[in-house]
Amino acid sequence: MKFLDQAKIFVKSGDGGAGCCSFRREKHIEFGGPDGGDGGRGGDVILECVANLNTLIDYRYQQHFKAQIGNHGQGRNKTGGKGDDVVLKVPVGTQVLDEDKETVLADMTRAGDRIVLLRGGDGGFGNLHYKSSTNQAPRRSDEGWSGEERWIWLRLKMIADAGLVGLPNAGKSTFLAAVTRARPKIASYPFTTLHPNLGVVTLGEEEFVIADIPGLIEGAHEGAGIGDRFLGHIERCRVLLHLIDGTEDDVAETYRVVRHELSAYGGGLDEKPEVVALNKCDSITADDIELKMMELTEACGQEVFPLSGVSGVGLKPILAQLFSHIREAREAEPAVPAASAVFGSGKRGAPTFQQRKRKAEADDDEFAGGHWGADGEWIWHSGEDEEDAGDEADFQDDEDEEGDE
């Protein structure tokens, strides 16, 4: 499925049905009187936010949507039926803009939300409506009122708790694949990621959503590369993770280039909390890591985390730091729902037999051969520790056997 995050469409609500001019004519009834019914109301244009969509591709090949006109009134005082509504289904995070692309008409941020964008026209009166003591045989009936119409823009801004930024090939997609079950395209050439990707991170009982966007280059706000329009997908993020490629010669300049592009884009991106990480530490020496972290710390003025998405080094401290900012933002704005709750991504299916079996085996062997280090690396126990552990286990078994006797 192709990804489309912006579309311009024409919408029109239904016109109201015309009223009827009719008189009752039956045998042996000399003065039947007027009995023309009113016209029905036109259909509405309704926007519905659904959770199982992530693109606006449905509006690329059809741009005109018109609701049905109301049915006309009929004799015997029959009011016309209401016209059918047009329901436009959009993904979570879709903004509805006026034709000027500046006025926000609606912001769909919750699955299940429905708004009436354009109301259908009212039906016209039939001649029965104008009956009075002084006008007992009116011949007036009205046409229905016209519906509303306008051109609108649909713009998708994905909802995520954390956003990944950096130059192309900084390792953003690799990081997303390492900490979530998302499987973005990963390759060794620039602009491998051409559209945003989402992934759900699980930390114990907590969850948050990470958004991966295409890489920024110098001059992106002027149209260089693939531009900066996709930065709109991280405007809703509570914190940004800025990944710096550790194999770059000047990591400080790399940091400043991305920060300049965020500032030039606007939208408050340069004011959001930021976590800075030196990525691809598995590809450089320990001395280079120390030197580049010092340069990067001086450039950004905050703590820099060492990271390797391929080997898994440094993942846990970064995720903990990200969630710390997200938790503070949630406490400051309790009315804003968490991204995982908006998408319903917190619902987990029942584990399969093989998954339960692997988990049981992992729990049994969790501390048998080693333990996790402070930076997320696995540290194997030495042979002496394993022998001591085995001797203690044998001694415990002997005690159990003596107790049984």
pLDDT for the residue numbered 277:
93
CA distance 2 to 110: 23
49 phi/psi in degrees, rounded to 5: -95, 120
Q: Regarding predicted confidence, which is higher, 402 or 159?
A: 159
Q: Tell me the residue type at 156.
A: L
How far lies 265's CA from each of 153, 270, 300, in Å? 20, 9, 19
| Of 155, 210, 141, residue with least CA distance to 181 | 210
- For every residue of 208-266, DSSP letters joined together read EEEEE-PPP-TTGGGT-TT-SGGGGGGTT-SEEEEEEETTSS-HHHHHHHHHHHHHHH-
Look at residue 379 and give its three-state secondary structure: strand
Task: Provide Rg for the chain, Cα atoms.
Answer: 32
Give CA angle at 270 (265, 272), nearest 5°: 130
Look at residue 35 and give its three-state secondary structure: coil
CA distance 292 to 248: 9
As a whole number, mean pLDDT of residues 300-318 equals 89
Domain ranges of the chain: 1-156, 162-343
CB 121 within 8 A of CB 16: yes
Tens digit of pLDDT for each residue in 135-185?
Answer: 988 999 999 999 999 999 999 988 888 999 998 888 889 999 999 888 888
CB 270 within 8 A of CB 192: no
pLDDT at position 241 over 90: yes
Domain 162-343 of CATH type 3.90.79.10: no
H or E, element range at 12: strand 6-12
Tens digit of pLDDT for each residue in 63-89?
Answer: 999 999 999 999 999 999 999 999 999
Ramachandran quadrant class, 120 (left: phi over 0; alpha: psi -120 to 50; beta: rest)? beta
- Topology, domain 1-156: Spo0b-associated Gtp-binding Protein; Chain: A, (2.70.210)
Q: What is the mean pLDDT of the chain?
A: 83
pLDDT for the residue numbered 70:
96
119 phi/psi in degrees, rounded to 5: -95, 145
CA distance 209 to 93: 14
pLDDT for the residue numbered 36:
94
pLDDT for the residue numbered 2:
64
pLDDT for the residue numbered 392:
47
CA distance 161 to 306: 22
| Of 215, 299, 303, residue with least CA distance to 250 | 299
Tens digit of pLDDT for each residue in 335-352?
Answer: 666 666 665 544 444 444
- For every residue of 85-123, DSSP letters joined together read PEEEEEETTEEEE-TTS-SEEEEE-STT-EEEEEPPPPP
pLDDT at position 317 over 80: yes
CB 264 within 8 A of CB 221: yes
Tokens matching residue 381: 């126990």
| Of 174, 155, 161, residue with least CA distance to 93 | 155
Tokens matching residue 357: 């079996």
pLDDT at position 301 over 70: yes
CB 49 within 8 A of CB 111: yes
pLDDT at position 90 over 70: yes
